[in-house]
Amino acid sequence: MSTSPTISFIGAGNMASAIIGGMLDNGYQAGNIWVSAPDDAHLQTIRKRFGVSVTTDNRYCAQQADMVVLAVKPQVMADVCRDIAPVVQNTRPLMVSIAAGLTADTLDGWLGGGLPMVRVMPNTPSLVGKGAAGLFANKEVKDKQKKMVESVFESIGSALWVEDENLLHGVTALSGSGPAYFFLMLEALEDAATEAGIAAGTARELAIQTMAGAAEMAARSEHDPGQLKRNVMSPGGTTEQAINTFEEGGMRDLVSKAYKAAFKRSEEMAKELAGKQ
């Protein structure tokens, strides 16, 4: 990263640790990172691992920052935001939330209003530097601040903007929940291979490497997935038989139904969270 504004993380869970680790791997200065959490023992582990500054005082942590990352669970977000509101209303940092389901307006209201706010929907592969995050900025966010957020989340994968906040429900259904879809496919392939007599360890390694290789090919290729699929298929061959079986079994329709179910549940959870705070 070319610049090092001070960034404070309110919350020190796995995702916060993944982001911090990615930032440091990309040249960010540990001295410009603060982390707060209620468990001092855990904070000391974070401090020793990353060399960042830590505190159990959320207000003090927020006060240091040009950018505050809200990395606590949605169920406690209201209390955390209301606690630091007097500080951030005075310092006016960029606020970034990685909590699912809580809208920018809701968060901004808890923080006292009028703040630049970015919502980010990351996913679990961020923990290994292969994340895919959807980002939404409210009208208070400046271009320079958007670039700051991009640089942070690109340190752990891809970071892509959406113009409509409601589209974050779609991001949740795609990349947020998506890793589990591929794990299901991986699990099913392993089971099928072991039933055919391949050793379980061998089946897993072959399936994982095949999935990783296919993803890398898709990322590098100028062709769309449909063409890549056709490139593997020979007329009358094994791949064609397998693909025809998937198509005849309604795989596309099933994937569409699953995506829509996740999308709908994301909308429902947002309403539930808003009603409980």
Binding residues: 10-15, 58, 71-74
Residue ranges of the binding site for NADP(+) = 10-15, 71-74
Supply the DSSP string of the chain, one letter for each residue.
Answer: ------EEEE--SHHHHHHHHHHHHTT--GGGEEEE-S-HHHHHHHHHHH--EEES-HHHHHHT-SEEEE-S-HHHHHHHHHHHHHHHHHH-PEEEE--TT--HHHHHHHTTS---EEEEE--GGGGGT-EEEEEEE-TT--HHHHHHHHHHHHTTEEEEE-SSTTHHHHHIIIIITHHHHHHHHHHHHHHHHHHTT--HHHHHHHHHHHHHHHHHHHHH-SS-HHHHHHHH--TTSHHHHHHHHHHHTTHHHHHHHHHHHHHHHHHHHHHHHHHH-
